Each structure stands twice: as structure tokens, then as C-alpha cells.
Amino acid sequence: MSTLRPQPRIYPIRLYGDPVLRRKANTVTDVTAPLQVPGFEETSLRQVANTMLETMFEARGVGIAAPQIGLSVRLFVGVEYEDDEEENEGQEKPLKSRVLRDFVMVNPVLTVTNRKKDSSYTEGCLSIPNIYEEGVRRARAVRVDYQDLDGNLKSIEADDYLARVFQHEVDHLNGILFLDHLPTSVSNQYRKELSAMQRQARADLKELER
């Protein structure tokens, strides 16, 4: 039998090949109900969200969805960074000092508000490390209706890069990964890397069950 560990500072990130990434995540029906991230003791939704933010910062990401930490619920966090205008190399401002705002979205519902597609950004994913690709077509602008950590209904409009982040994260809640939006020839190009991730994902799952 496995023993549950106390809450970590950051969560292990589930890798490509982990079945949880392909599951449609469940609605959060009660924001006050405790949650259990697999492998760890139960805790509050707020604590999970905060640890997800820490996990995202540590991995230098712009968003992370609950399935990426093995929790199949409709929750994601994201961040908007200020552009790094520092010109002197090696003098990069710490990531956290560049945060303009962060987002915690429970039960997000995405509505496309500008159907024009954009494919000019390079996209990546914390669950598919070191693979970055252009050409993922995303709607230019979206509205996201969601609940905050207290269960209040909120709404936010986003365009360009932030709209892309929100679309990527909501995809995660539906079991969709960014590579799914690209021709299979792209995934085939990375067959070796992706197979290695699948092996690692299986090893990680075994480790979690110990």
C-alpha cells in the first residue's frame, strides 16, 4: 500500500503518455471540498492552485492545468508576464518579478469572440518538454467564463498570446494536447522523444504507486 506524502512545494508534472492527460476532466462541484492530488494528502482547492502556480513558475511555464499534476478536475492556472526589456544579458529579472497578473480558473468555459485564426506563435507544453512548434491554429480572441477559488462567477476577455494560453489550457481539460492540432508528420518527427516521454511517464506512475 502506498503512503500519502504531505503537500509538496511543487508537484511532479505528468508527462506525455500519462493517461490522465487524455481524460476529460471533471467539473468542480464544490470549491470548499478537499482535493487529493495522487500521491499526496488531501488539501484545499486553494492550496492545490497555489502549488500549481509554484510548479508553473519553477518550470518557467505560462500555464498548467490540473490533469498535468494528475488531478482530473476542471482547473487551470496561468500567468501573464511583463516583457523582459532588460538588455544586459545574464541580468535577467527573476521570473516572478515580471508577473503582471496570474489566473486561477475553476470550471472555465471558453467562447471564441474572434474566429480569425492565428498560427504565428510558437507553442510548447510542460507535459511535452523541449518540443516547441509553430503552426498551431488558435482563435485570435476568446472570452472565458469561470469560477474563482471562492466560487464566484467571473469572466475575462483575452486576445493574442493570452487567448492562446487559455485555449491551450482548456484543451488540457478535454484531454487534448497541442501536438493534436498539428499534422501527424510533426509528431512523427519527434517519435524518439515522445517514446522516451511515454516510458518516463510509465516509470513515474509506478513510482507514485509505491
Active site residues: 169
- Minimum distance, C-beta of residue 55 to Zn ion, in the bound complex (Å): 12
- Minimum distance, C-beta of residue 124 to Zn ion, in the bound complex (Å): 8
Q: 3-state DSSP call for residue 18?
A: coil
Residue with cell 538588455: 87
DSSP count for the chain of H helices, then E strands: 4, 7
Instruction: State which residue, 31 or 179, has the beta carbon closest to Zn ion.
Output: 179
Which residue has the CB atom at the shortest distance from Zn ion? Answer: 125
Copy the grid coordinates of residue 159. Answer: 486576445
- Within 13 A of 140's CA, how many CA atoms are on the CB side? 6
- Minimum distance, C-beta of residue 104 to Zn ion, in the bound complex (Å): 16
Beta strands in the chain (DSSP E): 63-65, 75-81, 99-118, 122-125, 128-134, 138-147, 153-159
**Which stretches of the chain bind Zn ion, using CB under 5 A?**
125
The DSSP symbol for 180 reads: G
Instruction: State which residue, 39 or 181, has the beta carbon closest to Zn ion.
Output: 181
Instruction: State which residue, 125 or 194, has the beta carbon closest to Zn ion.
Output: 125
